[in-house]
Structure 1
């Protein structure tokens, strides 16, 4: 029996259901799923800031039942090397990268998958930033009002 290996790449910061959906779909495309998680240094070079350090992000991804192996992503050029090194049959990534990795088609199938609607790490970070910009006094007052309402309902 020939094993089919799938590989994907990502930062996986603030792990959410969109990430989980992606990993599930990828695992259904083959027998073995390899996930390359972008290192903090690589993200910094891309101008990307993460909230969760690489070691923790890789542990989270590694603990997902759909994932067979996690490797660090340290450079753009690594994709070509990894496809050869791990005998990859399918390179899959989010559709926002459409066309960017077609050069790998000589070595493996390249698939661009749709994102989960209405969820992204970027949106989560924007929401968190808006939430954190609310004055603390307003948040405390809102929680006090909620507590009073809860007591009234009891």
Structure 2
């Protein structure tokens, strides 16, 4: 008789399918992928093309190649299938030898109003995960539509000090204060919990002889430029520690409309990246002795070769690592994708995205009505 361990080793791996747009890949997407991976062993993610999304939902913010790369960088994803059909079929699941597909507990419909997952539901190949409340691509686009070019210029008046630094393990003192940055900025409705941070954390400690690399930043609207930078930074050592600046500091340095995503949202997006080992939540803007030695003993501090804003005291935030000879400059990975560039895509095509929002909201209302109808049918 085989032992339980042997049975686990010899059983067929469970292959799980998830598909979607993954436009402006955020922590809500990552959380769905995390839940789906927990249901099986191998996670395959189908990503729709720009043309398919345009037909069924409206224009995308991110181009399809950018969306494919963002999904591939999520640490729970094993394989990405580009140009996946918008209507999930039994045939596509069979093609990839999938045991079942997973989707959030909300309804997704085609342009004609039909359920995208009806066929796989009828075949018994459908599972649900909990949708992450308080974040969506539609909501993020809404935040950016409230901005203008003047709104995201550097503020001339600044005066906020950094929050005390803490790692994602120091959950007892994890702040749950919401981000409220100005009259033209919407406030996130996401409510962070210590459990969610733990779920996203890798939990791996560095080995004794690991070369630890530190990078820091805002990581607002986490995108492929950030991902490529983190990948290159990780290649410089064995363990990547990432400092994410708090909302007040980012606001003071960058201006009234930044950051668009609050600290907790940005931390989860960074933690979901496969190249990141640990995060300092609310890291100081300037690299200090505490950053270099109190969490782990940092061997190298890396930063991109883009211009760096001075700290509030006017000093170079990387002055200390430069003095210590542990500062390394990385080439800018992808100048075409930046947080400011994404915002400009929205602002420059404001009318197109306002129409997208109108269509999406109307479609969401119909989907909600259908969801309630189905719940009523089940309860009868």
Q: TM-score range by the shorter chain?
A: 0.7 to 0.9
Q: Structure 1 or 2: larger helix share?
A: 1
Report how far residue 40 of structure 1 moved: 0.6
1:38: Cα distance to partner? Answer: 0.9
The match for 2:353 is none
Tell me how far 1:74 sits from its aligned partner: 4.5
Structure possessing the higher radius of gyration over alpha carbons:
2
Secondary structure in 2 matching 1:103: helix
Q: Please identify runs of 4+ aligned residues in structure 1 that moved more than 6 A.
A: 147-150
1:109 maps to which residue?
125
Give the equivalent residue in structure 2 for 1:121.
Answer: 137
- Quick check: 65-74 or 97-106, which moved more? 97-106
Unaligned stretches of 5+ in structure 2?
1-10, 109-113, 162-251, 253-311, 314-380
Contact 1:6 1:90 in 2 (8 A): yes
Pick from 52, 61, 66: which aligns with 1:56?
66
The answer to whether the aligner puts 1:143 opposite 2:155 as a matched pair is yes
Q: Which moved more, 1:47-56 or 1:100-109?
A: 100-109
RMSD: 2.7
Deviations 1:23-57 (A, max 9, x none): 11111110111101111111111142111111111
Distance 1:85 1:21 in 2: 26
Structure 1, unpaired ranges of 5+: none
Q: Is the 8 A contact 1:5 1:31 kept in 2?
A: yes
Tell me: CA distance 1:72–1:31, structure 2 relative to 1, closer, same or farther (3 Å): same
Conserved in 1, the CA contact under 8 Å of 2:48 and 2:84?
yes
Query: How many pairs are equivalent?
Result: 148
Normalised by the size of structure 1, how large is the TM-score? Answer: 0.82
Deviations for 1:79-102, whole angstroms, at most 9, x for unmatched residues? 322111112212111222279324
Q: Give the TM-score taking structure 2 as reference length.
A: 0.36
